[in-house]
Amino acid sequence: MTQWNDDRRAARVAFVTGAASGIGAAVCRLLAQQGVAIAAADQNEAGLAALQDSLGAGARFLGAVLDVRDEAAQQAFVAQVEATLGAITDVVPCAGLARSAPAEEMTTEQWDLVLDINLRGTFLTCKAAAAVMLPRGRGSIVCLASVTARGGQPGRANYAASKWGLVGLVKSLATEWGHRGVRVNAVAPNGVDTPMLNVGVPAAFRDGVMLDRTPLGRFAQVEEIAQGIAYLLSDAASYVTGTVLDIDGGLTAGYLTHRHGADYALHQR
């Protein structure tokens, strides 16, 4: 098992995209509590300022307004992080979005935007960070997949394709970079209690379908997803790479489930 000395633990630096809200912000808060320096990127400048305030005066923090589709901007931020905070050890590409529409009505703009942010943007983040981590022979990357990477979903062909592609990306990078000291994994959440879920998903589908078929009977809190990410980043997961960790309240544990997994047929006898 890989053991990191105290100096290496203290020197951890995390590069997180989509950091201004939701899961990304929760990851930043949790890692900062563990003494990790935070390099946060997002397109929401006000959100980054609020995140920095939430971390407290003692946190080591560097923020940047950044579009993950911009390869040069990502490379420049990585260089700035290394010069300001030190060597990047942890990477969490959280930037992502959804644009729902029936497949036959989905515009090429809707398709391209989701694939560019969710998949291409994640790849560019991994690539920019790998340029400095691979020569050092150490590092851990945790990407944000989804239960939608386990099956299709009506109205979200672009989102499903991006998350299926992301799983393929994670497994490919894990096979390429593992022997060079960099681990690559992903988490796959179910619905998470965020504005994206509560505003962006119709209530009838959110509560009548997603929640109904989740055995734990509730959606995740962002802190619960962050805990899974923190585990995969840590040396407690030093022999884990190429894995997609489902954090889904049991949603993908079975099929034809109803009422939080209760045996509907038996109840109707």
* Residues classed as catalytic: 159
DSSP string covering 1-43, please? -----HHHHHT-EEEEESTTSHHHHHHHHHHHHTT-EEEEEES
H or E stretch covering 187: strand 182-189
Backbone angles phi, psi at 219, to 5 degrees: -90, 160
3-state secondary structure of 140: strand
Structure tokens at 64: 């940047």
**Tell me, what DSSP letter sits at residue 192?**
B
Structure tokens at 183: 């681990």
Q: Any idea which residue has 């299709």 for tokens?
A: 152
Gap between the Cα atoms of 240 and 46, Å rounded:
36
